Structures are given as C-alpha cells and as structure tokens.
Amino acid sequence: MFLWRINSYGREISDEKWETIDVGFVNFWRNAQIIPFPHRIRKDDHTLIFIPDFQSLVDRSENNVRLLQGVNENKHDLNAYFQHHPFPRNSIEVPIKTQGQQSDKIANSLYESLCYDLFIICNLCAPSSLNAYISEFGESDGDEFEALSLTSTVFETIYNDDFFSDIDAGDWFPYSDGASWFRRIRNSYNQIPKSRIEKTLFGLMQISKNAFNEYNIILIFYCLETIFDTKAGENFRVIADRIGILLDLSSDKKADLRKKLRTLYDLRSAIVHGGMELSHPMLNDLLDSNVDNHINRMMNACEFGNNLVVVCLRRLMRSQITELKFEERIFLKN
C-alpha cells in the first residue's frame, strides 16, 4: 500500500458559490467512496490493481462545508469564529491499496503515474475537487516521500467563465463513470501517448503542472488540435466549427467562440514566431510595472483556453466517447 499526502485545502481561487460547488464535492467524494473503482494497469503480461480509499477526502470536504457555513453565519465577528474553528493545516492521507507483483525499482514511478491519473479523473468529474498543489507520495511504511505539485486552478476557473455557464456548469458526475472512461483510454503506465485523447490528457497534465506559463498557450492548442483531429496551422474555421458541433453551440455562441479563439490563436502565433516578448522567469512587478498587464493578458487567454479543453473532455467523458472522427463532404451545385 502507498500513501498520497495532500496538504492543499479546498479551492484556490475563491469560496464563492460554496453552497453548490463545495457541497457538490461532498457528494462526489461520498459517491467515490461508496462505489470504489479498481484501477487495473496492464503492462506486458502483468496486471496491477490499485484501489484508492477516499474517506479522508470525504471527511475533509464535509469539514470544509461546515467551516464555510460557519463563516457565512458569523460574518459579524470572523476573528472570534476562527479562534474556535481554525481551518486545518494538516495534510490528509489517501491510502491506495495495491495488488499484483511489481518491481521495487519502478514502484515510486508507478505511484506517481497513478497520482497523475487520479488527479485528472477527479477534476474532470468534479472540477477543482482535488487540489494537489502541495503533495507527496510514497510507501505507507517508508520514510522517503517524493513531492508532486499539480494545481486545480486549471479546472476551477470554469465556475467563473460566463461563456460556459449554459454549456457546462461544472456539476459533478460519478467517479466510477469517469474512471471507467479514463481506463478505456489509458490502461497502462506508458509515457508516450497511444491515442489522440490520451495525448490530450497528457497535455492537460502538463498544464496542471506548469501553473502559469506562456507556453501553456501552445499546450492548449496542442490539446484542441489533437481532440478535433486538425493539423497545426490548418484553417482556423475548421477547429472552431468542430468545437461548435461537439458542444452543440448556438450561432451566437459560435461567433463568440471564434472571437475568443482568434485572440488565443494570435497569441500562440506570436509566441511561436517570435512576435511577442517572453517575460523574465521572475515575473516581478516591483522591478517592472509592465508585468501586471502582461500577466493579465496571458492569464485571461489561458483561462479561456484551459476551460475550453476541460469542457470538451468533460463532454467526452460524460458521453463515454473515447474517440472523435470527422468526415468532410463536398457538394457540387450546377
């Protein structure tokens, strides 16, 4: 058995709409605990089975809702409330039972791979339900744990994007359904993707690990072009039209989508072809006042792009679709 210790507490951006979002997390984790899903990972002639125990996440999410309810009821004197009801700072432990023979040499690598998988599955099922910005994993009876940082902000921004409010409100769906869909796409621990959707999942993992980075714009288009089977630089209209088909967008929504995608596409082209200045790694606004404008511009574009990737994958997951195929037809008129 190994442990995944998670130090992060709740959502990172905001506690707004906690009555629906965070209460939804409670129901999501309860459902995941009641209906466990054994992750069967195949490699060559061997099959390993991993079964996570989510009880600690059930307890933490329930406690979080109680605290948020208390904050809402004691706005007049929050200092006194927090003296008696402090937010917990301790990490939680997610035990993961293992079955099957595995090499000690690659054990930790297998555990890390599973943590990535669980992070993506849970956050596609219930956006921002699992924040592993500060976490570590290792053998339950061992002394050495390896750090892993994956931020759920990539998923949380969906709740504040008006464009998607009538397309995908971020409501949760069962963990077992999401895990089943995921394992039909990825049932091994290969490090090079074998299908278009797996390529997209790897891209989303990269974005979650990078947090804010100008190069995420390139990863966003990598994900979109992969999902919708378009070639880099192909007619911009094609990818917008295919997104519109999957998400069943109205004419007005399609027009709005094209505008937002065009902004993102122009930024991607500027980065690739050297037309935009990359920031210093420090991103220190005390040294340069232009940093704020640069960050805001990039973050607004990245947030929409991230949300679009997440919403498209959630639509595929909800419908249990593991591959999209497109055919182009030409009609000739006399």
Q: Where residue 61 falls among pLDDT bands split at 50, 70, 90?
A: very high
Show the tokens assigned to 246.
């999957």
Q: What is the largest CA-CA distance in the chain?
A: 80
Using DSSP, state whether 132 is helix, strand or coil.
Answer: strand
pLDDT at 272: 82
User: What is the edge-to-edge ordering of all strands in the sheet holding 92-99?
Assistant: 39-43, 46-52, 92-99, 2-6, 132-139, 146-150
Rounded distance between C-alpha atoms, residue 319 and residue 302, angstroms: 26
What's the pLDDT at 101? 76
- pLDDT at position 206 is 95
Asked if 206 contacts 183 with a C-beta cutoff of 8 angstroms, the reply is no
Structure tokens at 4: 């995944």
Condensed to tens digits (0 to 9), the pLDDT of residues 201-224 reads: 999 999 999 766 778 999 999 999
CB 148 within 8 A of CB 132: yes
The candidate with the shortest Cα–Cα distance to 220, out of 136, 293, 154, is 154
In this prediction, residues 159-187 reach a mean pLDDT of 95
d(CA 15, CA 17): 6
270-279: long-range contacts, CB 8 A cutoff, minimum separation 24: 271/214, 271/215, 271/217, 271/218, 272/218, 278/214, 279/214
Q: 326 phi and psi, to 5 degrees?
A: -125, 140
Residue 234: pLDDT band with limits 50, 70, 90: low
Q: Are 301 and 264 in contact (CB under 8 A)?
A: yes
| Average pLDDT of the segment spanning 141-146 | 87
Which pLDDT score, from 0 to 100, does residue 81 have?
79
pLDDT value of position 133: 92
State pLDDT tens for residues 75-104.
777 787 777 777 777 889 999 999 887 777
Q: Which helix (H) or strand (E) holds 248?
A: none
pTM summary value: 0.92
Q: Is the dihedral of CA 226, 227, 229, 232 positive or negative?
A: negative
* pLDDT tens per residue across span 267-318: 888 888 877 777 888 888 889 988 888 888 888 888 999 999 999 999 999 9
Taking residues 169-190, report their average pLDDT: 95
- Return the bridge partners of 139, or none: 2
Predicted pLDDT of residue 235: 65
23, 30, 37, 192 from 308: Cα distances, Å: 24, 28, 28, 24
Distance CA 214, CA 199 (A): 20
Radius of gyration over alpha carbons of the chain, in Å? 21
Residue 214, pLDDT score: 79
Residue 151 · residue 302 · CB < 8 Å: no
How far apart, in whole angstroms, are the C-alpha atoms of residue 163 and residue 308? 10
Of 5-14, 58-67, 176-185, the poorest mean pLDDT is in 5-14
* 233, pLDDT greater than 70: no
CA distance 300 to 196: 27
Confidence check: pLDDT of 45 > 80: no
